[in-house]
Amino acid sequence: HLILLFSLFLAPAFADKESQKTNQNFSSNNASHKRLKRDWIWNQMHIKEEIDTPLPHHVGKITSSVRNNNAKYIIEGEYANTIFKVEETSGDVYAFERLDREKKAEYELTALIIDRRNNQSLEPPSKFIIKVYDINDNVPVFVQKVFNGSVPEMSPVGTSVTKVTAVDADDPTVTGHATVTYQVIKGDEYFTVDDSGVISTTRADLDRENQSTYEIIVKAKDAPGSSGDSSTATVIITLTDINDNFPVFKHPSFHFKVPENISVGGEVGRVKVEDVDEPQHRNTKYSFVRGDYRDTFEIVANPFTNEGIIRPKKPLDFEKVAEYRFDIEATDPTVDLRYFKSGGSRSISTVTIEVTDVDEPPVFTKLPYEFKVRENDPEIRTLGSVWAHDPDAAKRKIRFIRRRASPNGDYIRVSDTGIIQLPKPLDREFSSSYNITVAAQEILEDGHLSDRESHAQVHVIVTDENDNAPELVYPEEPRVCENAAPGKVIIRISATDKDEISPRGFFKYSLATEDSNFSLVENYDNTANITVKYGQFNRELAKIHYLPVIISDNGDPELSSTNTLVISVCKCNEKGNFTFCEERAEQVGVSIQALVAIFICIFTIIVITLLILLRKRHKKDLSGLGRNVAEIHEQLVTYDEEGGGEMDTTSYDVSVLNSVRKNGIKLEAVPSPYAQVQKPPGNITSGAGEMEMMIEVKKDEADNDRDLLPYDTLHIYGYEGAESTAESLSSLESGSSDSDIDYDFLNDWGPRFKMLAELYGSEP
């Protein structure tokens, strides 16, 4: 060990000017006193780490220039008297533990010297440092156990992949203690590593499609050139994909079946290819190589599945072409040819498309159909015809039907054979064009119509004929001041025509009579001005003037109309402003359609009134004079209560029965319908069949004669049947019998039979 001795020396103290002023406090010889300064003296302390000799280990020695036999050395600090201790008299410092520089490289302590007798400090405390010398006792350690890196496949030699890092805890200031070197111990045929830890490729033919990941092991060690300790780490290297492979068809040929009615743009089928590159590098393009059907089909690549979708570009027809065959090629225009592998860049496959027959609707030969016809031409009945044919091999006949019409109505008809007919002349003013939809359906072998149909639009354009006269148009009611000057413009008039006006068409205006105070001036722009001719109107003679105006067109033939212009003569102020005009009497007109509707309503009311009167008269004839037998029968039939006996006179109207006798009406005058049914002989016992026959007869009578009143219940009581030996027991026909029985004895039976006596008694 190197021992550096520090000495204390005495420094002379000289008195200053202030000392001289107070020199009366010192000795008279004015001699200056000198004092020696003491200081610490110890060794520069160092110690190696991990010393393998027995403890304690001598570190160094502290000493002081104090000369005192009672001096005592002590140390203070965090690790004093634990790791480090000092010998009290000699000042030797010892370490009682083996030190590790990687844990703590320096220790700071404080040295003190005291008088052991009174523990008084003999010198001020002083700090000192103990440094730990490093030895190469640590292995380089990787900062992580597994590293990851990536590099594009087919990269050139020396392409950087990733970097690994290992750390040595030894002192880097000591040569060779913290220097780390790297070495690939597994996978060195593909990758290498330099002293800085950068891993790079050693081959240029790393192909992701053959092997996509590599796992290598890298060793880190220190003390270059020696076989010192080392550590290892795993590095996983992934090859990223580049577009270096062309697509290849999965099959040498593809076969598809498709119906002939597939829509344009519909999917026929899909051809599949295999591209070993990753999806982002699959950009397959399909093209036709051989075959004449590139105008019929197209192949579009699906960006997600890389499949080729075959679609028709125009309608297919089984009757024309039943099968398509062509070759297609799959390629990738974005392949990097620098890394292209040998083996051919073309992949070709044969595609066969078989078209199947379907029952197609009829096909019109022309779409759309357009016809022109003159309006109001009674001679034109047929405009033309539409035609459709069956595209299938059956070649069935076609029937045509009108589906829709605009405007709606029976203006245009279509025959079964497709002839376009006019039932009546067309009016262009009602509609300048007529549109109908014609449906074509095939006639099946059984005569029925097929449910498949096609449609065609038929447009009928009506050409104009000059069949409408022009009409007067004026924006406001014409008025004139009674003191208007000659030439004053009253109103500008114009005209309109329902007929089609040609660009060279014009209207001519004229007055029907010149005998008026008005004149007409042409403006030669299809308008005219009505002006004052003489001036000074007399309101006393006429407050309203009716001016007939003739308007004619230049059509062929030329048509004209006379329109009446109603002009009011008004009072005006000095400025010519109207101050008072008579109110015009509004002309109330009724159209022909309204008159027809009114007449129809009146006629309907008259017919209904006559029918009501005839019905009432018919009922009156049926009722007769007074009450008839049918009414009596009806009341008896509907009475369904037993009553309280002879004294009960409130349950039904007995006066009806009395009226029969009092009015002299005999029941025999109305023969019972059952009189027609002949009673069978008494020896016949077939009662059930007889009743059945009677019921059938009555049913026929009720069905055929609607004027008869319901006699059902009354007739059942009126005929007892042949099986009854007493024959009829009903008293309802007694009024019409020829019996001479005297019923006056009923009066002797008491009040209970009074009512019956009145019914069967003789007239008073």
Domain boundaries, the chain: 44-133, 141-240, 248-356, 363-463, 471-580
Q: Are residues 502 and 411 in contact, defined by beta-carbon separation less than 8 angstroms?
A: no
| Residue 726, φ and ψ in degrees, nearest 5 | -85, 0
Mean pLDDT (whole number) for 530-559 = 87
- In this prediction, residue 119 carries a pLDDT of 84
Instruction: Please check the confidence at residue 199 and state whether its pLDDT lies above 90.
Output: yes
Q: Which of 623, 683, 632, 687 is nearest to 656 (CA)?
A: 632
d(CA 690, CA 678) in angstroms, rounded, equals 10
Helix (H, G, I), strand (E, B) or coil at 609: helix
Q: Are residues 243 and 280 in contact, defined by beta-carbon separation less than 8 angstroms?
A: no
Mean pLDDT (whole number) for 81-92 = 83
Q: How many CA atoms lie within 13 A of 516 on its CB side?
A: 20
Residue 280: both structure tokens together: 């982002």
d(CA 19, CA 30) in angstroms, rounded, equals 10
Longest dimension (CA), the chain: 211
d(CA 650, CA 245) in angstroms, rounded, equals 120
Q: Are residues 262 and 316 in contact, defined by beta-carbon separation less than 8 angstroms?
A: yes
d(CA 170, CA 136) in angstroms, rounded, equals 6
Lowest mean pLDDT among 552-561, 563-572, 746-755: 746-755
pLDDT in tens, 475-534: 778 899 988 889 899 899 888 888 887 767 788 899 988 888 899 999 888 899 999 988
Determine the residue type at 225.
Answer: G
Pick the CATH number of 141-240 from 3.40.50.300, 2.60.40.60, 3.30.360.10, 2.40.50.140: 2.60.40.60
d(CA 297, CA 288) in angstroms, rounded, equals 10
More confident position, 250 or 21: 250
pLDDT in tens, 430-476: 888 999 999 999 998 888 888 888 999 999 999 888 888 888 887 77
Mean pLDDT (whole number) for 70-87 = 85
Contacts of 599 (CB under 8 A, 6+ apart): none
Does the N-terminal peptide bond of residue 315 adopt cis geometry, omega within 30 degrees of 0? no
- In this prediction, residue 653 carries a pLDDT of 53
- In this prediction, residue 98 carries a pLDDT of 81
- In this prediction, residue 42 carries a pLDDT of 58
d(CA 218, CA 147) in angstroms, rounded, equals 10
What's the distance, Cα to Cα, between the start and end of the chain in Å? 185
Q: Are residues 318 and 260 in contact, defined by beta-carbon separation less than 8 angstroms?
A: yes
CATH architecture of the domain formed by 471-580: Sandwich (2.60)
The CA-atom distances, in angstroms, between 412 and each of 37, 372, 380, 434, 455 are 142, 13, 12, 8, 16
Mean pLDDT (whole number) for 239-249 = 88
The CA-atom distances, in angstroms, between 395 and each of 315, 361, 453, 561 are 20, 11, 14, 60
Q: Where are the beta strands (DSSP E) in 375-505?
A: 382-385, 388-389, 398-406, 413-414, 419-421, 433-443, 449-463, 471-473, 479-481, 489-496
- Rg of the chain over all Cα atoms, to the nearest angstrom: 69
- In this prediction, residue 249 carries a pLDDT of 92
CATH topology for 44-133 is Immunoglobulin-like (2.60.40)
More confident position, 757 or 763: 757
d(CA 322, CA 356) in angstroms, rounded, equals 7
Q: Are residues 294 and 307 in contact, defined by beta-carbon separation less than 8 angstroms?
A: no
pLDDT in tens, 662-680: 444 444 444 444 444 444 4
Lowest mean pLDDT among 39-43, 250-254, 611-615, 757-761: 39-43
Q: Chain-wide mean pLDDT for the chain?
A: 77
pLDDT in tens, 583-630: 765 554 556 677 888 989 999 999 999 999 888 887 766 555 444 444
State the burial class of residue 4 (Cβ atoms within 10 Å of its Cβ: 0-12, 13-18, 19+).
exposed
Phi/psi-derived region of residue 476, left when phi > 0, alpha when psi is between -120 and 50, beta in every other case: beta
Fold match between 141-240 and 248-356? yes
User: Helices in 480-628 by DSSP H: which ranges?
Assistant: 592-623
Helix (H, G, I), strand (E, B) or coil at 252: coil
Q: Domain 363-463: which CATH class?
A: mainly beta
For the entire predicted model, the pTM comes to 0.42
Q: Which of 677, 678, 636, 671 is nearest to 653 (CA)?
A: 636
Helix (H, G, I), strand (E, B) or coil at 46: strand
Q: Kindly indicate the confidence band of residue 541, based on its pLDDT and cuts at 50, 70 and 90.
A: confident
Q: Are residues 555 and 499 in contact, defined by beta-carbon separation less than 8 angstroms?
A: yes
Identify the residue whose tokens are 């001699």.
31
Percent of the chain predicted with pLDDT > 70: 75
More confident position, 123 or 309: 309
Q: Between the ranges 5-19, 36-50, 315-329, 497-511, where is the mean pLDDT highest?
A: 315-329
Residue 506: both structure tokens together: 């014009």
Instruction: Please check the confidence at residue 123 and state whether its pLDDT lies above 50.
Output: yes
Helix (H, G, I), strand (E, B) or coil at 621: helix
d(CA 606, CA 293) in angstroms, rounded, equals 80
d(CA 726, CA 349) in angstroms, rounded, equals 113
Helix (H, G, I), strand (E, B) or coil at 63: strand
- In this prediction, residue 441 carries a pLDDT of 92
Lowest mean pLDDT among 12-16, 105-109, 408-412, 649-653: 12-16
Q: How many helices (H) and strands (E) does the chain have?
A: 7, 46
d(CA 119, CA 224) in angstroms, rounded, equals 56
Q: Are residues 526 and 496 in contact, defined by beta-carbon separation less than 8 angstroms?
A: no
Instruction: Please check the confidence at residue 241 and state whether its pLDDT lies above 90.
Output: no
Residue 329: both structure tokens together: 């090629």
Mean pLDDT (whole number) for 26-44 = 45
Residue 712: both structure tokens together: 């059902």
Query: Which letter does DSSP use for residue 121 in this model?
Result: B
More confident position, 136 or 542: 542
The CA-atom distances, in angstroms, between 516 and each of 352, 488, 565, 570, 674 are 94, 15, 13, 17, 95
Q: Between the ranges 251-255, 335-339, 380-384, where is the mean pLDDT highest?
A: 251-255
List the CATH code of the domain at 248-356.
2.60.40.60
